[in-house]
Amino acid sequence: MNASPRPRPGLPADPPLQPLRRRPHRLLPAALALLLGAPLLAAVHHARPAPYGDRLTVHARVAPAVEPRLRMRGAAVEAYGSRGGAVHWTYARAGRRPLAVLPARGDAVALWDDGLVTATDATGTGVRWHRALPAAADWLAAHGGTGVLRMLDPGTRMLAVVTPHRIAAYRLADGDLRWVLPARPGCAFAPARAVHRGGAILIAQPCLAADSWSGEIVAVDDLGPIAPSRTPLGNEWQGERRGEHHSAEHPHTGNLVARPR
C-alpha cells in the first residue's frame, strides 16, 4: 500500500524533500585560516616573556657532582669553574640586578634589587623557585643586600632572609615559607649585624627604647626563634633524607604541612 498522502483537490502538492548538501566553499576559508594560524599561535606562545624576566643562558654543561663557583658580574649572576674560570652559565633578569648571591646545597640563591629571591640549580638546569619580599625594594635600594641572605643550619636545608621588619625562613628544597619573625614594635633588625654561633644566628635588633641590651638581640635557628619549651614544626621535605641533594630533575611537588616534633 502507498502510505503517501494524496494531495487534496484544489491544493498544490508539497514539493519533494531535497537532501541536505554541505557547501564546502563556505568551510574552506575557515579550515585554511585554522591551518595557517597554528604556526602563528605556536610562535606567539614561544615568544612570551619568561616569568619574572628570567634569562638563563647555559654556556657549558656541568656534572651534577660539580658545584661551580658563583659571582655577580654586572647585572647577572655567573657560575664558573674553579679551573680556568670558564663560565658555565649566566642568569639575569630583565631590568634588574643582583645584590647578593649565596651558594647553598647545590643551588645559587640570589637577592635582586626589586626584593625577589631566586634559587637556581647550580648545574644551570633552571630557576627552581622565586619568592618576593614584601615592602623591601626601597630599603634594598638604599642599603644593599649585605647580610640579608643567611643559611640557618649546618645541613643548609633552611635559608633565612633578614630585612628590618621581619626574618623569613624558607626551605631550600622547594622554597616553602616555614616561619616568620616580625621585629618588635619600635625595633628593627640589622641584617649586617649578625653572627653564627653553632647552629644558631644572633641578629641585632636595635630599638628606640630598649630596656636592656639583651632585648636588642634575637637568636634563631632553622626551627624559628630560640626559646625555652618551644614546640617547633619539622622542616624536612617529605621523603628527604639528610644529605640528599635536590635538583630540577627531581622536583618537589607542592608545599607540605610541617609535622610537629
Mean pLDDT of the region 143-160: 89
DSSP-based three-state secondary structure for 215: helix
162-212 pLDDT, tens digit each: 999 999 999 998 999 999 999 999 999 999 999 988 888 999 999 988 667
Q: Give the model's pLDDT for residue 214.
A: 72
DSSP-based three-state secondary structure for 214: helix
pLDDT surpasses 50 at 21: yes
pLDDT surpasses 60 at 230: yes
- Residue 81, all three cell numbers: 669553574
Distance CA(223)–CA(81), nearest Å, equals 34
For the chain, the first-to-last Cα distance in angstroms comes to 90
Percent of all residues in the chain with a pLDDT value above 90, rounded to a whole number: 46
Report the chain's mean pLDDT, rounded to a whole number.
77
Q: Give the model's pLDDT for residue 100.
A: 97
Which of 28-37, 64-73, 117-126 is predicted most confidently? 117-126
70-102 pLDDT, tens digit each: 999 999 999 998 777 889 999 999 999 999 999
